[in-house]
Amino acid sequence: METSPIPVVTVQTAPFEDQRPGTSGLRRKTAVFEGKKNYLQNYIQSVLSSIDLRDRQGCTMVVGSDGRYFSRAAIEVIVQMAAANGIGRLVIGHNGLLSTPAVSCIIRKIKAIGGIILTASHNPGGPGGDFGIKFNVANGGPSPDSVMERIHQVSRTLEEFAICPDLHIDLSRLGRQEFDLENKFKPFRVEIVDSVDVYLQLLRSIFDFNAIKSLLTGPNQLKIHIDAMNGVMGPYVRRILCDELGAPANSAVNCVPLEDFGGRPPEPNLTYATSLLDAMKGGDFGFGAAFDADGDRYMILGENGFFVNPADSVAIMAANLSTVPYFRQHGVKGFARSMATSTALDRVAKAMKLALYETPTGWRYFGNLMDSGRCSLCGEESFGTGSDHIREKDGLWSVLVWLSMMAARKQGVEQIVREHWAKLGRNYFCRFDYEGLEPRAAFYLMRDLEAVISDKAFASQKFAVGDHIYSVEKADNFEYIDPVDGTVARNQGLRIVFTDASRLVFRMSGSGGGTGATVRIYAETFERDPERHNRETQVVLGPLIAIALKISNIHERTGRRGPNVIT
């Protein structure tokens, strides 16, 4: 019996004023996407309409999610709207699950026009949590500013969207599903693919799996403890670290993706990954790691809970890339970091006589550098590191780099870190997050602080805290000129650099869920003397933090007594 073609319906709507994407797409409280009529549909239509009509017709797109609440319902809407808007094929992860690195990998592998990732990264999930929609472009990386601006402009004037409300797919059934649509010559195709396969093939081509397997299974077996934090990474950890590389099944915990991530924020830091920290402090494991909801961020812990600061992590990885076959084969071209990230990576670049690029926060700024062959490794202080194998930060890739280092050097995490400090010095670094601030208060705080540091008199100012005297060398609002295409990104964070290379950075985060504003304060100081490498980070940075609090008046102006999170 022949079924009739599925109708394409045009639905009238009205624009929303708050659909400008931020650092990582559009993030809002889940209730906004779920409860506001047409809010989700408007934004998906804006994303699809931002693609030139000639490119859109018959093209392939990738769709995945971190498994958070509302993802399945949103994927159904995306499928219905993609079909109505002329997309020819959608490739979707099994049960809707794909890590962000896997989406980037698949986009590049099958030469898709882009991909939609449903994630709010490390933000909480569940009906009371956050939801996000991120659009990655054809190179596999996040949308550049020009694309985000196009999406925003479409959203401001949108009057209608196209949808096939009668089209339904089964996300649990691997394989191809085809649908005939009204007034379409070719059927619309949906392919449900294994979430791990393509990404695993890529990792096999990068690393020496035999060397890592020997480390995890040999006579001097390294015992590891991996926390997937009930996000998307569970299937990847089990398949790659356990099945492929031989780690015992009980090495991996919290590997079942849950819509609310088990009721805790899926954020791999010392504040939220406390069960991992407690397990590592017991001394039974030599290596520990945790991943965020969508698998692009990670945290590394050594034996007895030794914490590897993410800014140190990228620097140490950079200094040891020769332990990874991919880099021995392709060479190392250069490094990049976000401005707020510590300058530890700069010291490695200088020692290796390689270029170092300082960019605004946001992984999209690394894409041009990698596409043009300028950069092999990049990182951000927010627990994200990646290389030119894809165009996203990649948590599991980072863990495999660490395991490769440990296998080649036959050393533990802490020994590798301390030897790096002894050789190049230690950058003491921390970040204070003030979350959920009243947006106007945060805006005026930053505006007034910029006025203070822009005053000519500030450039010669000295701050005395205890027996420390800090002399300002320069202060500015960071501006980035892309060396590839010349585009300029302004107002990317306030920074104060002192004559001893200490730094303070203040910036508003663009990755919140719409529940107030977040102001982040970063402090950094450099210590060459190995005798002074064992000090407590907060003690070392205390004088700088005191200066930051004094010149910003953040506690007085916000009514806060301290930050929500310290990393």
Q: What is the C-alpha to C-alpha distance for residues 391 and 377, in angstroms, rounded to an integer?
A: 11
Q: What is the C-alpha to C-alpha distance for residues 252 and 118, in angstroms, rounded to an integer?
A: 24
Q: How many other C-beta atoms are found inside a 10 Å radius of the C-beta of residue 247?
A: 27
Sign of CA dihedral 70, 76, 81, 86: positive
Angular region, 541: left φ>0, alpha ψ -120 to 50, beta rest: alpha
Q: What is the C-alpha to C-alpha distance for residues 567 and 348, in angstroms, rounded to an integer?
A: 23
Give residue for tokens 């956050």: 130
Q: What is the pLDDT, as a whole number, of residue 510?
A: 66
Q: What is the C-alpha to C-alpha distance for residues 283 and 560, in angstroms, rounded to an integer?
A: 37
Q: What is the C-alpha to C-alpha distance for residues 560 and 546, in angstroms, rounded to an integer?
A: 15
Q: What is the pLDDT, as a whole number, of residue 1?
A: 41
3-state secondary structure 284-296: CCCEEEEECCCCC
Q: What is the C-alpha to C-alpha distance for residues 141 and 365, in angstroms, rounded to an integer?
A: 9
Give residue for tokens 């990393």: 567
Q: What is the C-alpha to C-alpha distance for residues 263 and 129, in angstroms, rounded to an integer?
A: 10
9-194 and 199-424 have identical folds: yes
Query: 480 phi and psi, to 5 degrees?
Result: -120, 130
Q: Are 98 and 239 in contact (CB under 8 A)?
A: no
Spatial neighbors of 324 by CB under 8 A, at least 6 apart, are 206, 207, 208, 401, 404
Strand pairing of 89-97 and 307-308? Answer: unpaired
Assess whether 121 carries a catalytic annotation: yes
Question: Whole-model pTM above 0.85?
Answer: yes
Spatial neighbors of 532 by CB under 8 A, at least 6 apart, are none
**Both tokens assigned to 379:** 């990182």
Q: What is the pLDDT, as a whole number, of residue 454?
A: 96
Q: What is the C-alpha to C-alpha distance for residues 140 and 107, in angstroms, rounded to an integer?
A: 5
CATH domain 199-424 topology: Alpha-D-Glucose-1,6-Bisphosphate; Chain A, domain 3 (3.40.120)
Strand pairing of 334-338 and 480-481? Answer: unpaired
DSSP state string for 201-253: HHHHHHS-HHHHHHHHHSTTPPPEEEE-TTSTTHHHIIIIIIIIT---GGGEE
Q: Are 41 and 161 in contact (CB under 8 A)?
A: yes
Q: What is the pLDDT, as a whole number, of residue 412?
A: 98
Q: How many other C-beta atoms are found inside a 10 Å radius of the C-beta of residue 542?
A: 15
| 426-566: CATH class | alpha beta
Q: What is the C-alpha to C-alpha distance for residues 227 and 275, in angstroms, rounded to an integer?
A: 9
DSSP state string for 424-488: H-EEEEEEEEEEEE-HHHHHHHHHHHHHHHHSGGGGG-EEEETTEEEEEEEEEE--EE-TTT--E
Q: What is the pLDDT along the chain (567 residues), one digit of tens a residue?
A: 457 999 999 999 999 999 999 878 999 999 999 999 999 999 999 999 999 999 999 999 999 999 999 999 999 999 999 999 999 999 999 999 999 999 999 999 999 999 999 999 999 999 999 999 999 999 999 999 999 999 999 999 999 999 999 999 999 999 999 999 997 878 999 999 999 999 999 999 999 999 999 999 988 999 999 999 999 999 999 999 999 999 999 999 999 999 999 999 999 999 999 999 999 999 999 999 999 999 999 999 999 999 999 999 999 999 999 999 999 999 999 999 999 999 999 999 999 999 999 999 999 999 999 999 999 999 999 899 999 999 999 999 999 999 999 999 999 999 999 999 999 999 999 999 999 999 999 999 999 999 999 999 999 999 999 889 999 999 999 999 999 999 999 999 999 999 999 999 999 986 555 568 999 999 999 999 999 999 999 999 999 999 999 999 999 999 999 998 888
**Orientation angle between helical segments 310-319 and 344-352, nearest 10 degrees:** 10
For residue 97, give the 3-state DSSP assignment: strand
For residue 419, count CB atoms less than 10 angstroms from its CB and return exposed for 0-12, middle for 13-18, buried for 19 or more. middle
Rg of the chain over Cα atoms, rounded to whole angstroms, equals 24
Spatial neighbors of 74 by CB under 8 A, at least 6 apart, are 33, 40, 65, 118, 131, 133
Q: Are 292 and 267 in contact (CB under 8 A)?
A: yes
Parse the chain into domains and list their residue ranges: 9-194, 199-424, 426-566
Let me know how many helices (H) and strands (E) the chain has, helices first. Answer: 19, 27
Q: What is the pLDDT, as a whole number, of residue 110?
A: 98
**Domain 9-194, architecture per CATH:** 3-Layer(aba) Sandwich (3.40)
For residue 137, count CB atoms less than 10 angstroms from its CB and return exposed for 0-12, middle for 13-18, buried for 19 or more. buried
> Among residues 24, 46, 121, 313, which one is catalytic?
121
Q: What is the pLDDT, as a whole number, of residue 183?
A: 79
